[in-house]
Structure 1
Amino acid sequence: MASKAPIATVSLYLFAGEDDFAVKQHARQLFQKWCAEVGGFDHERIDAFALNSGEAFRAISSLREAMQTLPFFGGGKVIWWDNCSFLGDDRTGSSSGVTEALQELAQELKAFRWDGVRLIISAGKVDKRKAFYKTLDKLGSVELFEGWSAEDKGWHFQAERVAREKLQVLGKEVTEENCARLVADIGPNPRLLANEIEKLSIYLGARILVEAGDIEAVVTRNKSSRAFALADALGQRNLPRLLKVLDDELWAVKTDSSRSEIGLLYGLISKVRVMLLIKEMIQEGMIKPESPYPQFKVQLERIPPESLPSDKKFNPQAMHPFLLFNSLSQAANYTTGELVQAMETLLECNLRIVSSGQDDVIILQQTLINIVQTTVVSPKPSRR
């Protein structure tokens, strides 16, 4: 490559992170913008995805060739090194050969004369400790998109903001409650969220407002969201629906090795625990039972953290607010005594599944029937 020359303006961009949808979107937008500014037809997009060291070497070689090849009719050139998969700490990226090749490439980028050449790199997870990343950060501009994780407190607020923005661009509107419902169904997945919003927009047609029925009819619920279906049916105290959902879940257990009857049971135990928590929060005056979703969120946020458990499993502020809001109305379907008895019944079910040798399906069915149909009778006062 040619001798080093200073970069008058930013000619090198890195977009990276685990939110591959945002990474790809921003890289594509900049590529189109730069191509329009530069003009001509000599721009290149190079697929830099590599499953092994050999493919990584070929991707690096293709980038070198593209940077050394000047436009046929003169002018500028835009190169997009797309989907680079070996800038992180995975097996391919950590191999000595690829590490050395990236170090050499970093030195060449430092010495490269950028007149008329612009380079965009889009990648997944990157290792900020490596020399190649540090070189890109020093020479150009870096934007990282870390994505969302269910373990991150507040991911749903970010997702709801993105959902509202995307719907607004498409000329659609959504209430705060239905936006939360949409995000809860999809989970922390930006790409899936964007796809489902596109589907919703097409389904709505000329209608502007997104209703709860539209979400139920069109949106594909993610795996973790589907796992709440059985718990929701229990909360609604609807026995026919509960047994139907249980049948669907048990069928899924047979076809998915990552699922089990015990997993279903633990989900039910968590649901009863949340409804008991809701009952206690109402009793303590922390939340009001008839609150609409926006007010419920405000009430939840105002609870002093020191008055709540530190364990995330029992801390309402660490849970998705819409899932708690759902449980607010469902908790009214049971008395506190019934929920306490339901917890005891589920724990007994756990012991039977583990130790009795009976059919797990029959045990679960009997347990749910007992919970939904049982009414706790308050003891009569003793006569004097």
Structure 2
Amino acid sequence: MFIVLHGEDDFSSREYLAKLLHDPRFVNNVERFDGPGGSLEAIRQACETFPFLSEGRLVVVDGLPKPKRESATKAAPADAASGTKSKRGAKKPSAAAQAKEFAGALAELGAHLPTITTLVIIVAEDLPKVHPLLEVAGAEVRLFAPPTGAALERWISGRAKVEQASITPEAVRLLASLANGQPRLLANEIAKLATYVDRGGTIDAAVVELLVPDSREARVFDLTDALARGERGPALRLLHELLGDGQQPLMILAMIARQVRVLAQVKDLAARGARPPEIASKVGMAPFLVEKTLNQARHFTLPQIEAAQRACLDVDAALKRSRMAPDMALDLLLTEFGHATTVT
């Protein structure tokens, strides 16, 4: 059998692979290869080796070689013009050609496997529709795309059942808004929440907000996002929801200040030409949060963000010196913050 597992949901594809690795049909007859550095001949020999004391043999190839962009300066212009070959009489194939040849050889191998062998290719990205591995007759091809919308909410509910817990619809929606469809992150959080409520317990929104740090940060993000759109009413409503939930004013201020600081960093790095992956690495944020913050930062100029940072410092001093009631101080901060936002 020839199986191709591909797609950006690497967590789910590896869970599927784990089931195969623990299949009793392949006990003591599993071989794994690193695709980018694997030897085709070694993979072929593994596929053709008869299983020992087992029904079948499982061979896993993890990843594929990626074509590298080759600089035009690597090729000598004179040789290119004259068609001169290397000293050994043959030109070395390009990285792209080698990657294509590797995939084609795996496809050929998959098309003629011994009946006792299962060959699995796992790739943590979507393969193009026209790809040798997807064209093998009789292949089992599974695309693992990160769930979104209603599918994501069903996935969260199902994952809670796996962890032997139930979960309320409100908690499901809150978790879905936090992880942006990242199954690996969600699975870790759900396992933690299920442990907290014990087997058979119920995960509700209060438990999520208590144990998942990003739940509070997500609401503060929504608050600053409302300010960026000039919607002071919704921002103030979110503020008072946080206060009503028992959040300490200084804690709320700290989260607002942190979000303003992140806005400043992301805005500055983007202005310097940094791409989202680089920004994520330098700021220490998840890539999907960088995209959200970039969208938010477009509504502010750097001077406006710097003014908001100073306002946060002023409110911090006022709260610590008890010069103003906490809710009034935060109300004034958001009011001034909102007035300072204009679309650039």
TM interval, shorter chain, is 0.5 to 0.7
Q: Write the mapping of 1:87-126 to structure 2, written as runs, cut at 5 A.
A: 95-110=96-111, 112-125=112-125, 126=127
Match of 2:303 in 1: 353
Deviations 1:340-373 (A, max 9, x none): xxxxxxx9x957926xx97552257789754656
Count residues in correspondence: 257
**1:188 CA displacement:** 1.4
Match of 1:249 in 2: 259
| Equivalent residue for 2:18, pick from 14, 22, 28 | 28
Q: Write the mapping of 1:49-198 to structure 2, written as runs, cut at 5 A.
A: 50=36, 55=37, 58-72=38-52, 76-81=56-61, 83-86=62-65, 95-110=96-111, 112-125=112-125, 126-135=127-136, 138-148=137-147, 155-198=148-191
Whole-angstrom CA distance in 1 between matches of 2:201 and 2:188 = 18
The 1:17/1:191 distance shift into structure 2, 3 A limit, reads same
Whole-angstrom CA distance in 1 between matches of 2:26 and 2:307 = 70
Whether the 8 Å CA contact 1:43–1:79 is kept in 2: the answer is yes
Whole-angstrom CA distance in 2 between matches of 1:216 and 1:223 = 6
Deviations 1:120-174 (A, max 9, x none): 2221221221223312xx23211111224xxxxxx23211101111112322112
**1:41 CA displacement:** 2.1
Q: Are 1:16 and 2:3 matched, yes or no?
A: no
Whole-angstrom CA distance in 1 between matches of 2:11 and 2:201 = 26
Q: Which runs of 5 or more residues in structure 2 are unaligned?
A: 71-93, 225-233, 244-248, 272-297, 316-329, 337-344
Structure 1 range deviating more: 115-124 or 365-374: 365-374
Whole-angstrom CA distance in 2 between matches of 1:244 and 1:74 = 60
| Equivalent residue for 1:219, pick from 208, 212, 216 | 212
**1:72 CA displacement:** 4.6
**1:68 CA displacement:** 2.8
Whole-angstrom CA distance in 2 between matches of 1:145 and 1:84 = 15
**1:244 CA displacement:** 2.7
Match of 1:200 in 2: 193
Alignment identity in percent? 20
Whether the 8 Å CA contact 1:12–1:120 is kept in 2: the answer is yes
Whole-angstrom CA distance in 2 between matches of 1:350 and 1:12 = 53
RMSD across aligned positions (CA): 4.1
**1:66 CA displacement:** 1.0
